[in-house]
Chain A
Amino acid sequence: MNRVVVTLVGKDRTGIIAAVCNYFAENDINILDIKQTTVQEYINMMMIVDLEKCRKPFSEIVSGLDVVGEKVGCIIKAQHEEIFDVMHRV
């Protein structure tokens, strides 16, 4: 497993999650978990995905998500899961 946390923040509209999920499908990235909250018209989403089968280097995925984010008007970030584990778990 190569677990990565993907977060998305922006103004909600139709097709945001579809765009992100399509990008993952195209790159053999498996989605393990999705959590989402919407406050007024803003969306906060977090996905945990597995990059085990993805053949692209991580830097390419990060810039690919930037492009997807720009299309749907959101900020999308990807980070390896360990940083959250170490900060919030003893």
Chain B
Amino acid sequence: MVELNEVFETHTMINSENLDVRTITMGISLLDCCDSDLDILCDKIYKKITESARDLVKVGDEIGLDFGIPIINKRVSVTPIAIIGSSACKTSDDFVRIAKTMDDAASKVGVNFIGGYSALVQKGMTAADQMLIKSIPQALAETECVCSSVSLASTKTGIDMDAVKLMGTVIKETAEATKHRDSIGCAKLVVFCNPADDNPFMAGAFHGVTETDRVINVGVSGPGVVKRAISKVKGENFEVLCETIKKTAFKVTRVGQLVAKEASERLNVPFGIVDLSLAPTPAVGDSIADIIQEMGMEYVGAPGTTAALAILNDQVKKGGVMASSYVGGLSGAFIPVSEDRSMAYAAEIGALTIEKLEAMTCVCSVGLDMVPVPGDTPAETISGIIADEMAIGMINQKTTAVRIIPVVGKKAGETVEFGGLLGNSPIMPVNRYGCKDFIDRGGRIPAPIHSFKN
């Protein structure tokens, strides 16, 4: 029998500490839509998505009401489109048509984002991969809900530096194509090393080719809950701190597991995974930076921040793994700058730099996320930043990513306002020394050795 104090603890988490289920994402395989005729392909894609995800939003809302827990986003991810469109698309414009079809299907079923406008090119690019990548600026400028991701590297294959170079240019073009809206297109574009096939979070969600036909993946959240729990053990040693985070993560993840199982049952779609990631929002008290600061840092970015983030990430996993039957996706802590109010403030006062963020990405999930940089940052420099991040992922056998926004017409220190969950942030200064000759070499960086670890 539940106790009064347990009920009120749950209520406090939901009502005062922003506990929510961040997303129910339905992964849909489009492999059975493949066709050499573009019209037929687009028809099949539209039908498959709208039929598969027809009840997703309705069921998500019902579950939210039944358990009294907000379910913020309902989303769809699909098989990487570079594969699906490879025999039908002869030009980049053909790929843009598929993006528009995805956008139409997403608005028909009422989801707020659809991911999978993607290419997996960690070892090399096919002609179709190149066409899709070159179409990204136009595709993201002419659609609302479509998200794009490109896998550039992996521990097993090394880094495709030709693709890294190309993505530097594509990110710049995407910024330019959406310059009237503070280059927001780049907020829907992420590059990966070792991407997860079952990631429910945008912009990087896609439905991996080894996945089943349809699957339900759930992303939980609750930085506010963790922060509040830590505030109760102020001054205690690391053992107490770690146990507190672990127990809190357990409770948060159990909610995700419950919602995932319910959604899977009600939609008659297999349950895939729960992603344990702590995902912040710009709302007050829903911040990863606040957790770091509660742990003892004056501001996030101060010396000690990387260690604090390592503790947080590891304890969230330890607590979460026991709470869910299948854990997957990115599962860690996200550190997006603009989406986290306190992170953005730390950047504004100079406590947090891109270099420190890069160090932090060595110990947490994903990477340089939602980082606005000056619009005149050269494409090669962006490629250099990407290459650094890919190298961290490749060597450390973890997922890393870059979602960077060169905001056209803005300089370091100015503010950019994306609105909604994407938040706002000061433009962060970038190291002004170049790396053009390095990026221009072309080719691949070989896969790293996996033995002789010291």
Contact = CB atoms under 8 A, between A and B. Distances in A.
A14 interface: no
Question: Helix, strand, loop or mixed for chain B's interface?
Answer: helix
B258 A83 contact: yes
B258 A84 contact: no
Looking at chain A, what size class is its interface with the partner chain?
A: 20 to 34
A84 B69 contact: no
Contact of A79 (B1, B8, B62, B66): B66
A44 interface: yes
Given A86-B255, A87-B251, A87-B254, A80 B67 contact: yes
Interface in B230-260: 251, 254-255, 257-258
A87 B4 contact: no
B355 to A, nearest CB: 39
B442 interface: no
Nearest to B257: A86
Q: Which of A7, A48, A78 has the most CB of B within 10 A?
A: A7
A16 to B, nearest CB: 16
B54 to A, nearest CB: 20
B10 A44 contact: no
Interface in A48-90: 48, 58-59, 62, 77-88, 90
Contact of A81 (B2, B3, B8, B9): B2
A36 to B, nearest CB: 8
B419 interface: no
A27 to B, nearest CB: 17
Contacts of A7: 7-8, 11
B4 A79 contact: no
Contacts of A48: 1-2
B258 A86 contact: yes
Interface string A16-40: 0000000000000000010101000
Contacts of A88: 2-3, 6, 9-10, 251
Interface string B66-89: 111100000000000000000000
Contacts, number: 59
Nearest to A35: B4
A46 B67 CA distance: 15
Contacts of A5: 2, 7
Contact of B254 (A78, A81, A86): A86
A43 to B, nearest CB: 12
B65 interface: yes
Contacts of B258: 82-83, 86
Contact of A80 (B3, B7, B66, B251): B66
Given A77-B68, A79-B66, A84 B8 contact: no
Interface in B346-381: none
B55 to A, nearest CB: 16
Interface in B50-69: 62, 65-69
Contacts of A81: 2
Nearest to A45: B4
A7 B4 CA distance: 9
Contacts of A82: 67, 258
A51 B68 CA distance: 16
B346 to A, nearest CB: 32
A58 B251 contact: no
B4 A84 contact: no
B18 to A, nearest CB: 16
A77 B255 contact: no
Contacts of A44: 4, 8
A77 B2 contact: no
B4 A37 contact: yes
B6 to A, nearest CB: 4
A22 B243 CA distance: 45
A38 to B, nearest CB: 12
Interface string B242-280: 000000000100110110000000000000000000000
A83 B11 contact: no
A17 B74 CA distance: 37
A77 B11 contact: yes
A59 B10 contact: no
Interface of B: 1-4, 6-11, 62, 65-69, 251, 254-255, 257-258, 322
Q: 10 closest Cβ contacts across the A-B interface?
A: A79-B68, A86-B254, A84-B2, A83-B67, A88-B6, A87-B251, A86-B258, A80-B66, A35-B4, A46-B4
Given A44-B8, A84-B2, 7 more contacts: A37-B4, A77-B11, A86-B254, A87-B10, A87-B255, A88-B3, A88-B10
11 contacts: A7-B7, A35-B4, A58-B65, A62-B65, A80-B67, A83-B67, A84-B10, A87-B6, A87-B10, A87-B251, A88-B3
